[in-house]
C-alpha cells in the first residue's frame, strides 16, 4: 500500500467523515459533490454540535432529501458511525484546540483531521501537531479551505461553487496532484491544471499559518508514491523554509516524478522593507525565505520552475504533453458531464424561475388548486356549512368537532365580539354562572368588570 507510510490517509469513494459545527452550506456542498461523483453513500455521516440536543437536519441528495444526524457528544457520533475516519472541524479559533484534542482521543478510528479555523494561537497549533504526530493522525490546516480528491471526497468548501467544480472537471480524477498553502489559489490551480492537462488527481491546501499540521513534503511524498499520479505541482509562497526540504528530496532521488513549482510573493523584493502578506507565515525573515531564493533553489534541485506565474500553466502542459507522447501517461476517456439539480433559491436569484407565494403551516396549506384547513378543502367547509365554529375547530383542534361544540364556540364569539365594558361585564357574569357560582357572585363579577365609569343608572 503506497499510503502505508503517510499520516494523511488516501481518500477514496468510500471515505466518510463527521463535520464538527453546524455548517449547513459546507455540508450541502459536500453532498452535492458526492452525488456528482456518483458515490453510493454521502461522505458526511454525521455532524457534531455540543450546544444542542441530538436532532436531525435535512439536506438534498440529488433531487431527493436525506436526514443527517447531529450529535451533542463526540463519543456517541463516532460510536454510531464506525466507518468514519475523517473529522472536518469548523470550530472557531477559540474552541478548536479543545475539540481537536478531544478528537485525538479517538485516534484508533479517526486518521485525518481538517482544521478550517484561522487565527489559532501558534502555541496551541504546535501542541496539536505534537499530539497528532504522537497518535499517528494526519492534520490538514489550520487556516485551510481543506482539500479535494476528484471523484472521491471533498473537504468543506474546497473547489468553490458547483459550476466551478464542473468547469474544472473535479468530478473525475486526473493525473496531476498539487499542494498549496493558499486555499484561494488552490481554486486557481484547479482551473490551470484542468486547462493544461487531464485534470487534478488530488489537491490539498495545507494552510497559511507558520506551523501547519502537515507540510509540503508530506503530501508530495504521498503523491510521488502513488502510481496514479504522474505530475506533481507545488505552489509555495514567501516565508518559511519548507520548500528546501523538497529540494533535498529532489536531489536525493526521493521524489522521482516531474515537479512543477512556483513560490508566489516575488514582488516583495521591490519594497525597501519586509512585507507581511495575507497569511501569518507569509513573511520573509531572511534572504533564504524570499520567494526568489526559493524558486532558484527549486530550479537548481531539478524542479520545473517557470520564469513567472503566468507561464505556470504552460510548464504543466509541456510536461503533460511529453508524458502522453512517450506513452507513459494514457488519458482516461472523458465521462459525461454530470448534472446537479439547482436549488430554487439560487435559481430565483439568477432569474431562472418564478412562482407565486404560498403559505404553509400546520393548520393551512395554500399549495395546489384549493386552500385546505387541516386537510379539508375549503369547498367542503362551505358544503357542510361549518361556518365560523367549524373552521375554528379545524384550525385550533385540527379536527371537525360535533355540532354542539361548534355552536358553543360561536356563542362565545358573539358574546365577546363587542369589547365594550358593558358586554365584558355580561360576559364575566355568564362565565361565573357557568362555573356554578351563586347569583350574587355572578352579578358582582360582572359589575366589578364594568367599573364605576359605566354604571349610569
Please provide residue 107's backbone torsions phi and psi, each rounded to the nearest 5 degrees: -65, -15
Round to whole Å and give the CA distance between 3 and 46.
Answer: 26
DSSP 3-state of 317: helix
Per annotation, catalytic residue among 6, 219, 230, 279: 279
Q: What is the DSSP string of 21-48?
A: S--HHHHHHHHHHHHHTT-SS-SEEEEE
Please provide residue 449's backbone torsions phi and psi, each rounded to the nearest 5 degrees: -70, -40
Q: Cell match 520567494: residue?
A: 291
Q: Which stretches of 142-290 are DSSP H helices?
A: 162-167, 183-196, 216-224, 242-252
Q: Which three cell numbers stand for residue 69?
A: 444526524
Contact yes or no for 269/292 (Cβ under 8 A)? yes
Q: How many Å from the N-terminal Cα to the C-terminal Cα in the chain?
A: 102
Number of helices (H), then strands (E), belonging to the chain: the values are 16, 16
Sequence-distant (≥ 6) Cβ neighbours of residue 431 within 8 angstroms: 445
Round to whole Å and give the CA distance between 270 and 341.
Answer: 49
Determine whether 279 is an active site residue. Answer: yes
CB atoms within 10 A of CB 226: 17
Q: Cell match 441528495: residue?
A: 61
Q: Cell match 358573539: residue?
A: 414
Q: Tell me the catalytic residues.
A: 279
Amino acid at each position: 500500500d503506497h499510503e502505508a507510510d503517510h499520516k494523511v490517509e488516501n481518500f477514496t469513494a468510500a471515505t466518510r467523515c463527521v463535520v464538527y459545527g453546524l455548517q449547513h452550506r459546507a455540508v450541502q456542498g459536500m453532498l452535492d459533490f458526492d452525488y456528482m461523483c456518483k458515490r453510493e453513500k454521502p461522505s458526511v455521516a454525521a455532524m457534531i454540535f455540543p450546544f444542542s440536543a441530538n436532532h436531525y437536519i435535512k439536506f438534498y441528495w440529488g433531487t431527493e432529501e436525506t436526514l443527517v444526524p447531529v450529535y451533542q457528544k463526540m463519543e456517541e457520533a463516532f460510536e454510531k458511525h464506525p466507518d468514519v475516519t475523517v473529522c472536518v472541524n469548523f470550530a472557531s479559533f477559540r474552541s478548536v484546540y479543545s475539540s481537536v484534542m478531544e478528537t485525538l482521543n479517538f485516534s484508533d478510528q479517526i486518521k485525518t483531521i481538517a482544521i478550517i479555523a484561522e487565527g489559532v494561537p501558534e502555541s496551541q497549533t504546535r501542541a496539536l501537531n505534537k499530539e497528532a504526530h504522537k497518535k499517528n493522525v494526519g492534520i490538514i490546516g489550520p487556516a485551510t479551505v481543506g482539500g479535494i480528491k476528484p471523484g472521491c471526497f471533498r473537504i468543506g468548501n474546497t473547489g468553490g461553487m458547483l459550476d466551478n467544480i464542473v468547469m474544472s472537471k473535479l468530478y473525475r480524477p486526473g493525473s496531476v496532484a498539487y499542494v498549496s498553502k493558499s486555499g484561494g489559489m488552490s481554486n486557481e490551480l484547479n482551473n490551470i491544471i484542468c486547462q493544461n492537462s487531464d485534470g487534478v488527481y488530488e489537491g490539498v491546501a495545507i494552510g497559511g499559518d507558520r506551523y501547519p499540521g502537515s507540510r509540503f513534503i508530506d503530501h508530495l511524498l504521498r503523491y510521488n508514491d502513488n502510481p496514479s499520479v504522474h505530475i506533481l505541482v507545488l505552489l509555495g509562497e514567501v516565508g518559511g523554509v519548507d520548500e528546501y526540504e523538497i529540494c533535498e528530496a529532489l536531489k536525493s532521488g526521493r521524489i522521482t516524478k516531474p515537479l512543477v513549482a512556483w513560490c508566489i510573493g516575488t514582488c516583495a523584493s521591490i519594497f525597501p522593507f519586509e512585507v507581511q502578506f495575507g497569511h501569518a507565515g507569509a513573511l520573509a525573515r531572511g534572504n533564504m525565505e524570499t520567494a526568489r531564493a526559493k524558486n532558484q533553489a527549486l530550479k537548481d534541485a531539478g524542479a520545473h520552475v517557470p520564469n513567472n506565474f503566468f507561464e505556470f500553466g504552460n510548464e504543466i502542459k509541456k510536461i503533460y504533453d511529453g508524458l502522453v507522447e512517450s506513452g507513459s501517461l494514457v488519458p482516461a476517456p472523458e465521462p459525461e458531464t454530470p448534472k446537479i439539480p439547482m436549488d430554487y433559491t439560487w435559481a430565483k436569484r439568477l432569474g431562472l424561475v418564478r412562482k407565486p407565494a404560498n403559505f404553509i403551516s400546520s393548520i393551512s396549506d395554500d399549495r395546489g388548486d384549493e386552500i385546505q384547513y387541516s386537510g379539508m378543502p375549503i369547498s367542503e367547509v362551505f358544503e357542510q356549512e361549518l361556518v365560523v365554529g367549524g373552521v375554528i375547530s379545524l384550525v385550533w383542534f385540527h379536527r371537525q368537532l360535533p355540532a354542539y361544540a361548534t355552536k358553543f364556540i360561536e356563542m362565545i364569539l358573539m358574546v365577546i365580539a363587542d369589547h365594550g365594558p358593558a358586554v365584558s361585564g355580561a360576559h364575566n357574569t355568564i362565565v361565573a354562572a357557568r362555573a356554578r357560582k351563586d347569583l350574587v357572585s355572578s352579578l358582582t363579577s360582572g359589575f366589578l368588570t364594568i367599573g364605576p365609569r359605566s354604571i349610569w343608572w
